[in-house]
Amino acid sequence: MNEQITLVCFEIILAILATPRRCLSRPSLEKSVLEKKSRIVSPSSTSQPNLSAAAIATVVLPAPERPVNHTTLLDIRTPVVGRATIVPYFTPTGARTSYIEGGQGEVVSPEGGSVPDVGAFLLGAPKSGTTWLAAALEQHPEICVSNPKEPNEVATHKGTFGRDNSMPDWERYVSCFVGEGLKLDCSVHALACPVAPQRVVENWPAARFIVCLREPVSRTLSHWNMILDTEEDKQNGIDWSNFSDAWGDDRLRSETLYGASLSKWYEVFSADQFLLIDSSRMRSEPGAVLAEVGAHLGLDSFEFNLEAVRTANTASDRRPLTVFGKLLKGVASMIPGIIKGPFVSSLQGRGINVYKMPVLSSERKGRVGPIESEMAQMKSEVQTDLVVLEELTGFDTSVW
């Protein structure tokens, strides 16, 4: 036992002696309580991880609530949140670890992987004009719009029906941003996700937000019709053909109650980080909307080519896929974005939707909208929520 203690102490002393001078020159080194030990793979054996006290002793990270020049010794597996530089480092025993210096470099996730330096998020709900706005903003040379438009990594809401509480795949998320400029994540479903605000503030506390809001009753009906047109409800094992049943499903209702959703965001971010836009203005004054977005994001003024921005995701585009259409969509999803991206962009730029071909999709079924009694519950909840929205944000909903 005494020999083991002596060996561990010797490893720690060697690690301290080997620590770069810039680590030791900090005004204050504080030793934290280590609840877990790092598992470092020994160079002599890649199959059996070994515990290395030296590896633990060489991980240096600033205490989050202190200035950058204060550092803390932490286990390499201790959650790391914020901006940091990760530098590969070898301890005297040969175990590989990392020297982490906070306050600069890349953003580091709670799992220790690097995270893209996202500067802004486009939030909203389906059928609120976010597709048009994202397509327009792609023209600006100072913006890098996420590709695909909705990475759906930060939020647990993955579309209307998808829910996944696992941690984000940071490696995939990094690959969703290719090019220079302010990185803009357009995963609109994050607005209604209760987990997203905390994840965003932990990784990007200075982020800016563009929130597209459409008159809630018409938005809900449009969203409901879209789901029925594409039969996405049936694909997820439910039936939304009755509107009352659909509204009773929180996956539709939460997208419409803007006040409730934004309340969670305003708890962790300041009001000046948000720009709320009535989506109807994208049709009536698109130039003014784009100018406001640019100013909110701190970008230089830019002349957008509005004629080149195609209105996407219209009712005529929504046709139930045939077996061949589903097969093509499945195959296309497996092709890397870097390969199919230019081809898809070319088709979209010319207004071509291959899925409208008769062999790939069928005609939309005609349907009668819900009667007034079916919408009574929705309208009552919406009116209550709009009061919350106005009091929280000052956003004028009188025209709705």
pLDDT digits (tens, 9 = 90+) for 337-346: 667 667 666 6
Task: Identify the domain containing residue 6 by its residue range.
Answer: 2-114
- Angstrom distances, CA of residue 218 to CA of 9, 60, 256, 267: 69, 54, 10, 28
Same domain, yes or no: 249 and 369: yes
Q: What is the DSSP letter of 23?
A: H
Same domain, yes or no: 233 and 104: no
The alpha carbons of the chain give a radius of gyration, in whole angstroms, of: 26
- Flag whether 31 is in a domain: yes
- Flag whether 332 is in a domain: no
- As a whole number, mean pLDDT of residues 286-304 equals 97
| DSSP-derived pairing of the beta strands 143-145 and 182-185 | parallel
Q: pLDDT at position 240, please?
A: 97
- Flag whether 349 is in a domain: no
For residue 158, is pLDDT > 70? yes
Q: What is the DSSP letter of 269?
A: S
- Flag whether 207 is in a domain: yes
Distance from C-alpha of 263 to C-alpha of 137, rounded to nearest angstrom: 27
- As a whole number, mean pLDDT of residues 151-171 equals 95
Q: What is the DSSP letter of 149?
A: S
Determine which helix (DSSP H) or strand (DSSP E) holds 8, and give its type and residue range: helix 2-18
For residue 177, is pLDDT > 50? yes
For residue 283, is pLDDT > 50? yes
**What φ, ψ does residue 182 adopt, rounded to 5°?**
-65, 125
Number of domains within the chain: 2
Of 52, 83, 114, which residue constitutes the final position of a domain? Answer: 114
pLDDT grade, residue 94 (50/70/90)? very low
- As a whole number, mean pLDDT of residues 287-307 equals 96
Cα four-point dihedral sign 40, 42, 43, 47? negative
C-alpha 146 chain-centroid distance = 9
Count CB atoms within 10 A of the CB of residue 72. Answer: 19
Q: What is the DSSP letter of 185?
A: E
pLDDT grade, residue 270 (50/70/90)? very high
- Flag whether 136 is in a domain: yes
136 token code pair: 């327009």
Question: Cβ-count burial of 394 within 10 angstroms (0-12 exposed, 13-18 middle, 19+ buried)?
Answer: exposed
pTM of the full structure: 0.68
Distance from C-alpha of 79 to C-alpha of 72, rounded to nearest angstrom: 13
- Flag whether 342 is in a domain: no
Question: Cβ-count burial of 243 within 10 angstroms (0-12 exposed, 13-18 middle, 19+ buried)?
Answer: buried
Share of the chain above pLDDT 90, in %: 54
- Flag whether 130 is in a domain: yes
Count CB atoms within 10 A of the CB of residue 352. Answer: 11
Q: pLDDT at position 349, please?
A: 62
For residue 87, is pLDDT > 90? no
- As a whole number, mean pLDDT of residues 88-97 equals 40
| DSSP-derived pairing of the beta strands 82-90 and 106-108 | antiparallel
Q: pLDDT at position 344, please?
A: 65
Q: What is the DSSP letter of 366?
A: P
pLDDT grade, residue 5 (50/70/90)? very low
Q: pLDDT at position 72, please?
A: 38
Query: Which of the given ranges, 28-32, 175-179, 293-297, has the highest pLDDT on average?
Result: 293-297
Q: pLDDT at position 82, please?
A: 46
Q: pLDDT at position 115, please?
A: 87
Same domain, yes or no: 295 and 170: yes
Q: pLDDT at position 387, please?
A: 98
Same domain, yes or no: 15 and 31: yes
C-alpha 266 chain-centroid distance = 17
- Flag whether 387 is in a domain: yes
Q: pLDDT at position 191, please?
A: 98
| DSSP-derived pairing of the beta strands 274-278 and 208-213 | parallel
Q: pLDDT at position 212, please?
A: 98
For residue 46, is pLDDT > 60? no
Same domain, yes or no: 79 and 103: yes
| DSSP-derived pairing of the beta strands 182-185 and 118-123 | parallel
pLDDT averaged over every residue in the chain:
76
pLDDT grade, residue 327 (50/70/90)? confident
Same domain, yes or no: 66 and 133: no
Of 87, 114, 141, which residue constitutes the final position of a domain? Answer: 114
